[in-house]
Structure formats: C-alpha cells, structure tokens
Amino acid sequence: MRIPRRNLFKGLAASLGLMAAGKVGDAAEVAPAKPAAARHGGGPDALYEKPMPITVAELKARKAPGASVAEVSDYLPVGYTGPLAPCPPHADMNPHHAAIVTWEGKPHRFIFSHEASYVPAMELPNGVGLCNQFFEGSTGDELFNDLGRRTRNSFVNIVQSGPERAWVRWNYFCVNKDDDTRIALKGTEDYIAYPNGLMWRRLTYETMMPESPEGYSWQPIDFFAWVPNGSEWKDFLTRDEEHGDYHVATVLDAFSDKRYDKFWDDNGKARRIGDAALLLEISHSRGLAMVLPTKAGNLFTILGDASGFPSTKSQVVDHSFNDTGGWGWGPIRWDHWPVGWLNSEANNYKPDVSKYPYHYGPLSHYIVSHPLKNCGELPMEDANNDYHKETLNMEHNRWAERHVYYTLTGAAKDIESIRKLARQWLEKGHACATPESIAGLQTS
C-alpha cells in the first residue's frame, strides 16, 4: 500500500503561494489559487517555443537584469577543460549542458550542470562552489555515479526565466550504480531566485521501494565544496594568524550568539572552536546556518523549525570529529568529475598529479530519528557505528518521506550578517514555505 502523499501536495500548494494565512498543513485553510498576476513574480513563463541554449560567452555578454536563468550548451564543470573520457564515463547527450542562474550586480551564480547530474552549486567568481547535494538513498543509491548522470535519471526544467524571479525545477531518480532499473526514490526540488541574490529551495521525495530502507533518505542537506584543479587551501581559504591553519566551516545558531568553527592546516590536522555538545546545541536550536567561508565570500545554507526541519530531529555533524556523529574523514580531497566518485571509484586528489577539480566535505546535516534525551547525549555519536542502525528505522524513514523541506542559500561578505538573515527568514514562521518569504531580505 502506498504511503499517503497528503503532506506532499500541501507543500506544493505552499510553494506556489496557495496557502491562506495560518498553519501550513491544515486542509481547511487552503485558499483558492490567486490569479497569476496577483502572485509576486507571476507564474511559469508564457511561451509557445522554448529558447535554444546559448553559449557561456553569450550569457556573460547579455547582462540580464534582476534574477535570470538560461540554458547554456558549452559549460565547463569547475573550469575543467580536459577530455570527458575515459573514466568515469561522462553524461549522455551533451555533458556541457547547464542551466545557470545569475543575479544583476552580484558576483555569484547558481549552476545546474549535466555533467554533475544537475546537482546544483552556488559558485563564487574564483570557481569555489557550495553544494548541498540531494535526497541520497540511505543505503547508497544516488546520482553520483555513471548511471545517475544520465538524462533519464536527472533532468531540469526552467519554469520561470526572470527577471522578477527565476525558477528551476529539478527531478531525479536515485539509482544503483550497477543497475538503474533499481530506483530507490524519486526527488523533486524547486529553486526560486530573487534579484537580491538569494535562492529559496523546496525539497521532497517519494520512495520507489516502500518496504526497504534503501528507498528512503533523511539527509537532503549535505555540505561540500567544489574547487578548481591546482588550488591549495591558502589560495581560497582565510588563514588564522595565531594558529596558521585555515577556516573551513562555521555553524551559526540563528537565535543566539552560539557559533562553531573548524579549521584545517596544511598537514591535515583539524582544530575546532567549540565541541560536540555545542554543535548539538546549535543543531537543536530553532534554526541554524551552515557557512563555507572563503576569501571571495561566505556561502551559506539556512534551515530550521519554520522551514520544515524539526529542531528535535536536527543534527549537524563534523566529519573531522567522530564524536559529533561524523565519519572522521577529515580534510580528504576527492577528485571531482565534478561529482563525487565514492559510489564508483574513490579517487583521492593528489596535488601536482590529479588533473581534475576536487571537492571536500567538512559538514553534513542529518534528520535523525529521536530527539535529545538529556544534556550532552548525541543521537549519533559515531557514524561508523550508528549510521547503519539509523537507516533501519522504518518509522523514521516513513516520517522523513512524508515531509516537505525548505532552505535559503546565498552569499555574504560578513559571516555574522548571515545569522541576522537566518533569524529574519525563520521568524516569518510558516511563510518560509512560500518563495515570497525571501523576496524582501538582503545580505551584506
């Protein structure tokens, strides 16, 4: 018997601005749809012929106003100019196809690259990008493999091209790396950008294996950076003057002054300001921001209770420290194609040898099955021991699949300004489930 999709359709109504004021999720409060002209930014583009893709050079030259998105035919993933062969096999049809969101007067852009299975990233001018990944199947089925790159398993559509707002819809199937007829789940995500440089994201999925843990996910907000080939930490990360290491991640509590920072040095040693208890306290706050600090700007993701991530089920993990629930892999850099090879070939990046861009993953966010039991006790203390046990909890799996989630992403010059932005958005309450909730916000 299929799991009811009641919450899914309510979330869709909310994302399209169809909810009346009140608690999102109450069927009695769903109002009739407003005319398109009455909704901020209107509806889908009114057109009878889809525009042909343009070149990246044409995209740069046209200087589109507001928030705009266009398809391009010659995008080079993370600046990689080498051949897309022999291994891993590149995306089918046109691996250089991409949908790129730009903002007038803003240095960053948002990229859905076919070669990256359309898994999008917010990218700074220096080529460093932040990716929050997708609903990865709990036991390993995903998009980061050869089959996941194929158009039949991952595809994007431009719903609204701008300039008042730009809207891209991404649909994907998480598949087994050896057999893409084994579909674990179907994900649908909407990304809506406003001229202020911010991106609203709506995430939901439906299991294709309702009786198996393989068909579920509770980690839609991963956190990794992609980096151009040849870049070292000193090239794009800020160095701490006292310790000589590099600032690689920050987690902010939106509703207090709590903050967790982590650092890596050139020899791979990790340091943190804070401990596992502090990171868990921030995780269980009403809202938080995960920040990727770089010399060119600070990329961030905001989420919380009001955006569909219950604080009692929220856990940010630090992959340099197992006591936070992380995997302990530390500052490992993986060759990037530009997607991770972990499901097909785990290739560690080797300076002066690897010819590909690379990525690294300082943090992850999990939606865990049980709340904090008492002060200092972690729902997951060590992923190597606890992660598999978590995947077997079918009650939690079904709970996660029935819910709809929302995030806010962007770029800011000042890290502390992100805390203020997070609080402003999350204090809107259930309005966070509407894209218009980010329209009047600003970063610094």
Residue 385: CB atoms within 10 A of its CB come to: 11
Report in angstroms the alpha-carbon separations of 194 from 19, 66, 301, 440: 20, 7, 16, 9
- Nearest-CA neighbor of 131 among 201, 225, 8? 225
For the chain, percent of residues with pLDDT exceeding 90: 64
Report in angstroms the alpha-carbon separations of 42 from 14, 68, 201, 254: 15, 14, 17, 31
Query: Residue 166's pLDDT band (boundaries 50, 70, 90)?
Result: very high
Tell me how far apart the alpha carbons of residues 280 and 90 are, in angstroms, rounded to a whole number. Answer: 39
Q: Give 335-377 as a 3 state SS string.
A: ECCCCCCCCCCCCECCCCCCCCCEEEEEEEEEECCCCCCCCCC
Report in angstroms the alpha-carbon separations of 55 from 58, 121, 189, 209: 5, 19, 25, 40
User: Which of 12-26, 79-93, 118-132, 427-441 shows the lowest mean pLDDT across its residues?
Assistant: 12-26
Tell me how far apart the alpha carbons of residues 70 and 166 are, in angstroms, rounded to a whole number. Answer: 9
Query: Residue 417's pLDDT band (boundaries 50, 70, 90)?
Result: very high
Q: What is the pLDDT of residues 195-241, one digit of tens each?
A: 999 999 999 999 999 999 999 999 889 899 999 888 999 999 999 99
Q: Mean per-residue pLDDT for 130-146?
A: 83
Of these ranges, 76-80, 130-134, 155-159, the one predicted with the greatest mean pLDDT is 155-159
Q: What is the pLDDT of residues 344-393, one digit of tens each?
A: 456 788 887 777 888 899 999 999 886 544 444 457 788 888 888 888 99
Number of domains within the chain: 1
Query: Residue 12's pLDDT band (boundaries 50, 70, 90)?
Result: very low
pTM score over 0.75: yes
- In this prediction, residue 38 carries a pLDDT of 35
User: Which of 137-141, 174-178, 329-333, 360-364 shows the lowest mean pLDDT across its residues?
Assistant: 137-141
pLDDT of 403 over the 60 cut:
yes
Tell me how far apart the alpha carbons of residues 112 and 49 are, in angstroms, rounded to a whole number. Answer: 22
pLDDT of 16 over the 50 cut:
no
Q: Mean per-residue pLDDT for 264-279?
A: 95
- In this prediction, residue 346 carries a pLDDT of 64
User: Which of 139-143, 246-250, 294-298 shows the lowest mean pLDDT across its residues?
Assistant: 139-143
Q: Mean per-residue pLDDT for 274-281?
A: 95
- In this prediction, residue 342 carries a pLDDT of 43
- In this prediction, residue 86 carries a pLDDT of 57
Tell me how far apart the alpha carbons of residues 319 and 5 are, in angstroms, rounded to a whole number. Answer: 34
- Distance between the two ends of the chain, CA-based, in angstroms? 49
pLDDT of 19 over the 90 cut:
no
- In this prediction, residue 258 carries a pLDDT of 98
Q: What is the mean pLDDT of the chain?
A: 85
Domain that holds residue 374: 1-444
Give me the torsion for CA of 83, 182, 206, 89, rounded to 10°: 0
Tokens standing for residue 108: 């960053």
Query: Residue 138's pLDDT band (boundaries 50, 70, 90)?
Result: confident
Q: What is the pLDDT of residues 321-338, one digit of tens each?
A: 999 999 888 888 887 654
Tell me how far apart the alpha carbons of residues 366 and 325 are, in angstroms, rounded to a whole number. Answer: 10
Tokens standing for residue 32: 């009739």
- Nearest-CA neighbor of 438 among 273, 154, 200, 101? 200
- In this prediction, residue 332 carries a pLDDT of 87
Q: Mean per-residue pLDDT for 261-275?
A: 96
Q: Mean per-residue pLDDT for 63-90?
A: 84
pLDDT of 32 over the 60 cut:
no
